[in-house]
Amino acid sequence: MKNFLLAILVLVGATQSLASDKLVVGYYPSWNRSVYPHTAVQYQNLTHIAHAFIGPMVDGNLEVPSGFLYPELIQTAHANGVKVVVSLGGWGTYSDRFAPLAADTAARHRFVQNLKNFCVTNGYDGADIDWEYPKNATERTNMRLLISELRQAFNTTTPALLLAMAGPATNWSGQWFDFSAMMNDFNWIGIMTYDFYGAWTSKAGHNSALYGAYPPNDQGWVDYGVQYYNVTRGVPKSKLLIGIPFYGQQFNASALWGTSTGATQVVYYSIAPKLQQGWTRYWDAGSQVPYMISPTGNQLISYDDSQSVAAKCNYVNSTDVAGAIIWAIGQDGVGARQPLLETVGAGLLRPTSVAQHVGGAVPERFVLKQNYPNPFNGATHIRYGIPESGLVSLRVFDLLGREVHTLAEGEHAAGEFDATISSERLSSGVYIYRLTWQGRAISKTLTVLR
């Protein structure tokens, strides 16, 4: 829908000026096509789609999985102003082929030309290299040669094809990437700031903490990854995108940082319903991410929700990082909504106005006040309060019952909040705004006059 109320909710923190030139790159796994077709994509909440994955062959040819090509996705994305890059590699066999390919001069040259021609022929705007990971100094040198040759070939098209990379968040693998030599060849580098804890760790920890906290998050966190690239490796923030996962890790563990006997990856649309199934949600204020524990107390899920995604968007805006990559769009579909992607779009692409926790005395009751001024043309405020912490939703609908925007979605602390709404792209007329909290709802109307 075109008539959006442009707003962003910052659950805790002061009002700040936000930029609107951020990148939001959503990975679209080709194997999800049947359950998440191109018609379901919220293009308004993306700037780029990374169509994943095709693979390099050792001889320089390309392996394109059966059913991968999806011209309707590219055409619809372009019609909505969204660029599409093809992703190569990913964890496993495809990435394993990069090393022998890059070591062979003839195969490397053949690969570069094949990839360039594949992008041009199929309408892609560029390519995303996901080599997980070079393992030694020789592979580091050969990767640098491969990327340099790709950049030179991509520059011969009009416009020049985009070139991006997905990179590790720590020095464990990052040491084998020659960032100083390659960073000018990339349009962006997406830091994979997730999978810090999982089946490979002996304790339950955050899948994608924004900050380290006590006990020490010794596997890393989002800000750690940004500092590693920017401060330690000298990559400017204007090249960096943080990773936002639309999935979590379910541990066989009874407490955060406690012993884990195994874990599995679970997507957000499977996690969200557990809040109505007796699981208890907790918020780690230090790490700025939630986790939940099962009714039996022997399972723990570390994940991201609307509150933590909003915090990460706020981090991107306040630190001048270029934007975010998402693995993977479609994994947050809850009913007809995609709440995590909607939060990213509001936080990074439509930063017109801000709502904030205004503090003061905790209200004695659940309250939604009339927006002021009303009617309005320009901006108006909606103030609301909750007497106890809980899940809050503030949404706006037209008179036909169609939702035009979500102003708040996620866990709130007890207190009073103020949402500022812009009418920049809102038609004249009457709209309904509805606040829900702990199964209760209050609705009021607002009027836009031109």
> Does pLDDT of 15 surpass 50?
no
**Residue 403: its pLDDT value, please?**
74
Name the CATH superfamily for 19-246+305-349: Glycosidases (3.20.20.80)
Fold of 354-448: Immunoglobulin-like (2.60.40)
Judging by DSSP bridges, how do beta strands 83-89 and 379-386 pair with one another?
unpaired
Lowest mean pLDDT among 36-50, 69-83, 216-230: 216-230
Average pLDDT over every residue of 316-331: 94
Q: Decide if 132 is catalytic.
A: yes
| Position 109 pLDDT exceeds 80 | yes
Q: Is residue 2 very low, low, confident or very high in pLDDT (cuts 50, 70, 90)?
A: very low
Q: What is the mean pLDDT of the chain?
A: 90
**Alpha carbon distance 233, 251 (integer Å):** 33
Stretch 62-87: mean pLDDT:
98
**In this structure, which amino acid lies at residue 182?**
M
- Answer whether residue 413 shows pLDDT above 60: yes
Average confidence (pLDDT) over 432-444: 92
Average pLDDT over every residue of 121-138 = 98
| pLDDT at residue 5 is higher than 70 | no
Q: How far apart are CA 298 and CA 280, in angstroms?
A: 12
Which of the four pLDDT bands, split at 50, 70 and 90, describes residue 359?
A: low
- Residue 46 CA to residue 344 CA, distance in Å, equals 9
- Residue 172's pLDDT is 93
Q: Where residue 13 falls among pLDDT bands split at 50, 70, 90?
A: very low
Of 45-54, 118-127, 323-332, 369-378, which gets the smallest average pLDDT?
369-378
Cβ burial 309-337 (10 Å sphere, 16+ → b, else e): bbbbbbbbbeeebbbbbbbbbbbbbeeee
Provide Rg for the chain, Cα atoms: 23
* pLDDT bucket at 356, cuts 50 / 70 / 90: low
What pLDDT does 352 receive?
41
Does residue 444 register a pLDDT over 80?
yes
In the predicted model, what is the mean pLDDT of residues 220-239? 96
Number of neighbours of residue 238 by Cβ within 10 angstroms: 11
- pLDDT (mean) for 351-358: 53
d(CA 121, CA 166): 24
Residue 25 pLDDT: 98
pLDDT of residue 419: 83
pLDDT value, residue 350:
66
**Picking from 260-269, 317-326, 389-398, 401-410, which range would have the lowest pLDDT averaged per residue?**
401-410
Query: What is the rounded average pLDDT of the residues 212-235?
Result: 89
Residues 6+ apart with CB under 8 A from 282: 256, 290, 291, 292, 293
Please tell me the predicted confidence (pLDDT) of residue 20. 52
- Quick one: three-class SS letters along the chain? CCCCCECEECCCCCCCCCCCCCEEEEEEEHHHCCCCCHHHCCHHHCCEEEEEEEEECCCCCEECCCCCCCHHHHHHHHHCCCEEEEEEECCCHHHHCHHHHHHCHHHHHHHHHHHHHHHHHHCCCEEEEECCCCCCHHHHHHHHHHHHHHHHHHCCCCCCCEEEEEECCCHHHHCCCCHHHHHHHCCEEEECCCCCCCCCCCECCCCCCCCCCCCCCCCCCHHHHHHHHHHHCCCCHHHEEEEEECEEEEECCCCCCCECCCEEEEEHHHHHHHHHCCCEEEEECCCCEEEEECCCCCCEEECCCHHHHHHHHHHHHHHCCCEEEEECCCCCCECCECHHHHHHHHHHHCCCCEEEECCCCCCCCCEECCCECCCECCEEEEEEEECCCEEEEEEEECCCCCEEEEEEEEEECCEEEEEEEECCCCCCEEEEEEEEECCEEEEEEEEECC
Q: How far apart are CA 394 and CA 380, in angstroms?
A: 15
Q: Is the pTM higher than 0.75? A: yes
- As a dihedral over the C-alpha atoms of residue 172, residue 178, residue 182, residue 188, rounded to 10 degrees, the angle is 10
The pLDDT > 70 percentage for the chain reads 92
- Of 63, 132, 403, 416, which residue is the catalytic one? 132
Domain boundaries, the chain: 19-246+305-349, 354-448
Residue 14, pLDDT > 50, answer: no
Q: What is the pLDDT of residue 394?
A: 87
The yes-or-no verdict on residue 7 having pLDDT over 60 is no
**Confidence bin at 358 (pLDDT 50/70/90):** confident
Assess contact for 390 and 399: CB atoms under 8 A: no
Give per-residue pLDDT as tens, 149-198: 999 999 999 999 999 999 999 999 999 999 999 999 999 999 999 999 99
